[in-house]
Structure 1
Amino acid sequence: MINASKPKIWYGGDYNPDQWEKQVWDEDLRMFKLAGIDVATLNVFAWAKNQPDEDTYDFGWLDEMMDKLHADGIGVCLATSTAAHPAWMARKYPDVLQVDFNGNKRKFGGRHNSCPNSPTYRKYAVRMAEKLAERYKDHPALLIWHINNEYGGAGNCYCDNCEAAFREWLKERYGTLEAVNRAWNTGFWGHTFHDWEDIVLPSGRSEEWSGANGRTETNFQGISLDYMRFYSDSLLECYKLEHEAVKKYTPNIPVTTNLMGAFKKLDYHKWAKHMDVVSWDNYPRFDTPHSYTGMMHDLMRGLKDGQPFMLMEQTPSQQNWQPYNSLKRPGIMRLWSYQAVARGADTIMFFQLRRSIGACEKYHGAVIEHVGHEHTRVFRESAQLGAELGKLGDALLDSRVKAKVAIMFDWENWWAIEMSSGPTIALRYVDEAHKYYDALYRAGIAVDMVSVEADLSDYELVIAPVMYMVKPGVASKLEQYVAAGGSFITTFFSGIVNESDLVKVGGYPGELRKLLGIWAEEIDALLPSQRNRVVITDRNIGLKSEYECGMLCDLIHSEGAEVKAVYGDDFYAGMPALTVNKFGEGEAWYLATSPETAFLSDWLPKLCADRGIAPLLADVPEGVEVTLRVKDGVEYLFVLNHNEAAATIDLGKQGTELLSGRTMQGGSAELAGRDVWIVKLHN
């Protein structure tokens, strides 16, 4: 349990007293108490203050603040401050400075500005973590360690240290140059390597260039894919070094670092193995679909097999980095906070508790606004939420979300798809995953977002959108799952390559061909203006007669699979577009194209119903979200109305609504706009 040392849903956020005069501190603490804030994240960017030169460490301000917070009953999420190195370090040891994509050496500035393979950076970062851990190991305010901050939030590094480290990483991964040459297919374009020193980083000066729509294009996908793996691992190694440093002094204090949802650059499945608790920062736009935010919460929850996670950051009111930074309308902050709790969060925390007065985040929202008092709409809403979380106590802590449907999500597959030189630039992996998630979300069906390594035995239905890369052992694992009675869905552009992005010869979908019972002969890429049709040939599956499709169309032949729908147009009209293959006790579906939203909204709930997977509530109005958390056999039903207007909900179950204390009789009731119920169901 995250919250064992403070058994309630933690409420608080990033606090930067080092940016303020001391006379402000006591006033802040007074207002924290009014808002119900009980956890503060300290020291996130205070490295330069704590270490003014190479040999001097001064933690006086931090000592004082740790004591003050503890005296007021507030715990501390203590950061190691290593997300931005001090200016003196950059001047004295320039190896800490990154080299950009085009080979330019950076100067001091920004944040996340350190080379992860700089010996200097690693030395001083670990030393800072150790000094903090040794100093505060027995401090009663210390609840959890926060290593660095939002790793990977700046450009990658292409310096000589990274290049040398990349060669060592390759030696460990492949063992021999011959294996590297095979994995990268270096016979193409005369790239065969005969000496490790001949290998250079893929960058704007070698294999890569900036392409359309912000994509990085590459001549050699294998080289670029391994660089992405290497860079994720390099930052992870920095995290692990600091993790080990604080664990040496505080073995029983949990350690985390704040992740960023579907952040492309880091393989979070790999990172989560080294985190005691997953935490993440949630910053949806004003118009972000609620289902997308839900998918991100579920993705973060899935990183550690469904364990509750920390919502480390969200804004109380508005953000500052988007072109148009809308305010959160009244009730939205509370509603979105409960959406996080509904999907597995055991903390609600903000960036930030007091607004900065200068630099690029001075217009980023905060619990305490620039006016400096509690008489603001944002503060009143924050205090209301704080009071409610206090009332909930430990009732929801460590409760779990239960799902019978899983969507497989894989970072390396994402990387490989979006650096592919063809067949289309329109293919976006996260968008395709979200299409499937959104259809299930709208149907009120719970979903787990899982890795390709996950145990699938508890799921009735597993969906792997665009499984372009099939890693070793995955095909046989899926065969075993389906043979035992599971249902599996995958899509166009699947089963194409291995983990090195080398095509599996012998016919698409490669290792999945036996399971799916099809052969994909060709792949047609449609222009954005072009459409084809999916024409349903088996009316027993309960769908309309036809649907639009586009982007990519696999031209497939059945090799034992039943054809459920065909294409309606073009020279491949009549060829299969949707198939199902009976395999053992289960079945494997292949959807050969990207269909319109209506197809998935009609098909997936029907498929779930056929497998006994029911929505949590029937006939839920559009814009209403329903989830369930379970603890010790007790079920907690969350109903969230994302609409501005009230919605009538047929609860169908009796229970006690925890926020109001109201008894719910199980019939229809009205849920106000942007409001939430948390109903403890009666058995």
Structure 2
Amino acid sequence: MINQRVPKIWYGGDYNPEQWDKATMEEDLRMFELAGVDVATLNVFSWAKTQRDEHSYDFTWLDEIMDRLAEEGVHVCLATSTGAHPAWMAKKYPDILRVDYDGRKRKFGGRHNSCPNSPTYRKYSALMARKLAERYKDHPALVIWHVSNEYGGYCYCDNCESQFRIWLKERYGTLDKLNAAWNTGFWGHTLYEWDEIVVPNALSEEFGGNRTFFQGISLDYRRFQSDSLLACYRLERDELKKITPDMPVTTNLMGFYPELDYFEWAKHMDVVSWDNYPAIDTPVSFTAMSHNLMRGLKSGQPFMLMEQTPSVQNWSPYNSAKRPGVMRLWSYQAVAHGADTVMFFQLRRSVGACEKFHGALIEHVGHEHTRVFRECAELGAELQQLGDQLLGSRSNAKVAIMYDWENRWALELSSGPSKALNYVDEVHKYYDALYQLNIQTDIIGVEEDLGKYDVMVAPVMYMVKPGVARRVEQFVSRGGTFVTTFFSGIVNENDLVTLGGHPGELRHVMGIWAEEIDALLPGQHNQIEWNQEWGSLRGSYPCGLLCDVIHAETAEVLAGYGSDFYKGTPVVTRNRFGEGLAYYVASSPDSKFLQGFLANLCEEQGVKPLLNTPTGVEVTERVKDGGSYLFVLNHNAEEMTFDAGSAKLFDLLSNRQVSGHVTIPGRDVMILKRSAAQS
């Protein structure tokens, strides 16, 4: 638990007092107290201020700020400042500058502009981390280290090319094995020397930003770049840990960000933290799924909400203000799904540059008499009231959805079968159906322990990594329910097709084989004809995107297609395997079908909704010491009524007992405590 030195849900965010004078900082500290701010993130982009040249370091400005915050009882999440290198470094050491996808050498500017394989960047970033650790290791304000900021972006320079060859040697050992893994016999690409390997970008194998002629090399380059950026993080983390071994270290992730394999990154983080920036029209279920992904990166461990905006954000096409109550509602949604902090970017609005219109606790007007500040101060007071009650509590989900970044990369790089196929969207369709049913659901990686769950869903499991099929078989044979979908079991970890019929290694447990894959045009549909009674399912349901034409082997056919040349062939099957069941959904159904289908599966396994609520009223649960906390979040603008059951539950926010039919105001939140005896 990270909150030991501040034993409550941390409240605060990014603070940049180096951009202001001392009088302004003093006024900020006054308003921090009014708002209940107890943790500030410092030094995120201050490398140039601290290090003016190779040998000169000046921390006096940071000393003053750290000391002043400590005096006021505000603790510090201290960043290493290495998210943007100084101009002098780019001028003197051009190896630090990235080369972009089109082969152009960048100049100084922007941020995330450092080549992850630059010896210069690695040297000076690690040195900065060490100097910070040596200077502030005993500072009373320090509560956590924050390495760099929002890692991302690929580089295609000569440094990366040479290091990529070394990475490949370590992965494959010999060129013969590499040639086999990449299938280089295709188009005469056989490689005879390691230095014949070039980076895959617009000058070689790729085109259009995410399309490639050779999936093998492009897939490996994404693995390599993720590993390269991770190596930069680890260099700084290791320097911090040498000097402050007991101080937690993190870096802020970005939800379903496509370029980095966060399951691998999380292995090297003491706590996962992330930045949550939904647009005004982002489905609330997608935000919930993103929180659950962050929770799932470390097997359900609570995470940090490192950034969100108190009001508007500056980069969306339409930067709408959060309506009254929404900031509080979305903050509690994060806590409901596992956050033990609520933090903002930013605490005071910048006066210039691209983030001057990004929201903040303290607006440009510079005082506390704003709607945004009032709402933030009210939330700060509530978090003080909650104290440490929720800290360390976890999800107890019995349903999980499997998500894999490498599977996503391989799907996106694939030539066919449909440009409309979007892995994250298909995962979200299944998550949203469970969300609407108020079924608690984890998002997990392929290495997670499946034995904790009763129902496992793996949408579009295109890539089956070594050992995964065997683990699925064990899960099902021991009584679990497994669901996968169209375009699953197609390739191995090198994106080579598993021969012998789709779904490849999953064929045995699924009891079917797929003969063809039909890609439907936008707006074109087939039908799932459900001609038996099973819960609420009956009749015809639209399906589209892709249609696998499958044959049942040992599986039972539950539904057939309604039209086209494969009319009447199976579209939904169920295979009994050992003590459990494996379901195959051969097309992409609508939400009505998925809700009915998944409700039936959960009911078969004894997995029940947390509560029955109207549409737009979210329910999730955190458990601790045998008891539980039910979060009821009304995302509607209007008040709603739900049935809380006959047991008396205690609402931590209103300090009252509730039971039976309960009315919750629009955009409001309830945290209902249920004792161990009631759980």
TM bucket, shorter chain: over 0.9
- Superposition pairs for residues 481-560 of structure 1, below 5 Å? 481-540=475-534, 542-560=536-554
1:389 aligns to 2:383 (yes or no):
yes
Matches within 5 A, 1:39-58: 39-58=39-58
Q: Counterpart of 1:317?
A: 311
Counterpart of 1:187?
Answer: 185
Letter in 2 for 1:378: V
Matched, 1:458 2:452: yes
3-state DSSP class of the match of 1:565? strand
Match of 1:679 among 669, 672, 676: 672
Residue 624 in structure 1 maps to residue 617 in structure 2? yes
Three-state SS of the structure 2 residue aligned to 1:557 is strand
| CA positional deviation for 1:54 | 1.1
CA contact (8 A) 2:532 2:538 kept: no
Aligned partner of 1:668 in structure 2 is 661
Task: Give the TM-score of the pair, scaled to structure 2.
Answer: 0.99
Distance, in Å, in 1 between the alignment partners of 2:628 and 2:620 is: 10
**Is residue 2:644 matched to residue 1:646?**
no
The answer on whether the counterparts of 2:535 and 2:596 sit within 8 Å (CA) in structure 1 is: no
AA of the residue aligned to 2:502: Y
> Aligned letter for 2:619?
V
CA distance in 2, matches of 1:248, 1:27: 37
Matched with 2:196 is 198
CA RMSD of aligned residues (A): 0.7
Deviates more, 1:599-608 or 1:255-264: 599-608
For residue 667 of structure 2, what is the amino acid of its counterpart?
R
Preserved contact between residue 252 and residue 275 of structure 2 (Cα < 8 Å): yes
Shift of 1:541: 5.4
CA distance in 1 between counterparts of 2:20 and 2:538 reads: 63
Task: Tell me which residue corresponds to 2:469.
Answer: 475
Output the CA distance in 1 between the equivalents of 2:450 and 2:493. 21
1:537 to partner: Cα distance: 3.3
1:567 aligned partner, one-letter code: Y
Q: Relative to structure 2, which stretch is displaced further, 222-231 or 599-608?
A: 599-608
- Counterparts in 2 of 1:241-252, with a 5 A limit? 241-252=235-246
Distance in 2 of aligned mates of 1:654 and 1:195: 73
Q: Which moved more, 1:539-548 or 1:180-189?
A: 539-548
- Give the corresponding residue for 1:159: 157
Question: Cα deviations across residues 339-385 of structure 1 (Å, max 9, x unaligned)?
Answer: 00000000000000000000000000000000000000000000000
Q: Secondary structure at the match of 1:131?
A: helix
Q: Which runs of 5+ in 1 are unaligned?
A: none
CA contact (8 A) 2:206 2:213 kept: yes
**Residue 585 (str. 1) matches residue 583 (str. 2):** no
Q: 2:173 matched to which residue of 1?
A: 175
Instruction: Tell me the secondary structure at the aligned position of residue 671 of structure 2.
Output: strand
Q: Could you tell me which of 293, 299, 304 is aligned with 2:293?
A: 299
Q: State the match for 1:108 in structure 2.
A: 108
Letter in 2 for 1:196: W
1:609 to partner: Cα distance: 1.1
State which drifts further: 261-270 or 537-546.
Answer: 537-546
- Secondary structure of 1:143 counterpart: strand
SS of residue matched to 1:394 = coil
- What is the match of residue 339 of structure 1? 333
Instruction: State how 1:74-153 maps to structure 2 within 5 Å.
Output: 74-152=74-152
Q: CA shift at 1:669, angstroms?
A: 1.6
Deviates more, 1:124-133 or 1:605-614: 605-614
In the other structure, the counterpart of 2:269 is 275
| Alignment partners' CA distance in 1, 2:272 and 2:391 | 15
Q: Which residue of 2 aligns with 1:6?
A: 6
Q: Distance in 1 between matches of 2:180 and 2:648?
A: 62
Cα shift at 1:572: 0.4
Q: Deviation of residue 58 (structure 1)?
A: 0.3
1:372 and 1:139 map into 2 onto residues whose CA distance is 30
Question: Match for residue 362 of structure 2?
Answer: 368
User: 2:342 is paired with a residue of what secondary structure?
Assistant: strand
Once residues 217 and 421 of structure 1 are traced to their aligned partners in structure 2, the CA distance between those partners, rounded to angstroms, is 7
Q: CA deviation at 1:650?
A: 1.1
Distance 1:585 1:464, change over 3 A: same
> SS where residue 190 of structure 2 aligns?
coil
Going from structure 1 to structure 2, the CA distance change for 1:342 and 1:179 (only over 3 Å counts) comes to same
Partner-residue secondary structure (3-state), 2:618: strand
> Matched residues in 1 for 2:201 and 2:505: separation?
32
- Tell me by how many angstroms 1:538 deviates: 3.2
Shift of 1:337: 0.2
Q: Deviations over 1:396-453 (max 9, x none)?
A: 0000111000000000000001111000000000000000000000000000000111
Output the CA distance in 2 between the equivalents of 1:574 and 1:660: 56
- Cα-to-partner distance string for 1:180-222 (whole Å, 9 max, x where unaligned): 1001000000000000000000000000011xxxx51100001
Q: Distance in 1 between matches of 2:482 and 2:513?
A: 17
1:67 and 2:60 correspond: no
Residue 361 of structure 2 aligns with an amino acid whose one-letter code is V
The alpha carbon displacement at 1:7 in A equals 0.4
Q: What SS is found at the alignment partner of 1:449?
A: strand
CA distance in 1, matches of 2:552, 2:104: 53
Q: More deviation in 652-661 or 264-273? A: 652-661
Identity %: 68
- Please state whether the residue corresponding to 1:400 is helix, strand or coil: coil
SS at match of 1:3: helix
Q: Is the 8 A contact 2:427 2:459 kept in 1?
A: yes
Q: Is the 8 A contact 2:634 2:667 kept in 1?
A: yes
| Whole-Å separation in 1 of the counterparts to 2:238 and 2:673 | 41
Letter in 2 for 1:100: D
Q: Distance in 1 between matches of 2:84 and 2:610?
A: 46
SS of the aligned residue for 1:438 comes to helix
The 3-state SS of whatever aligns with 2:667 is: coil
Post-superposition shift, 1:533?
A: 0.6
Write the letter of the residue equivalent to 2:494.
Answer: S
Does 1:209 find its partner at 2:207?
yes
In structure 2, the residue matched to 1:20 is 20
Distance 1:358 1:53 in 2: 25
Shift of 1:597: 1.4
The list of structure 1 runs, each at least 4 consecutive aligned residues, that deviate by more than 6 angstroms after superposition, is none
Deviation at 1:529, TM superposition (A): 2.5
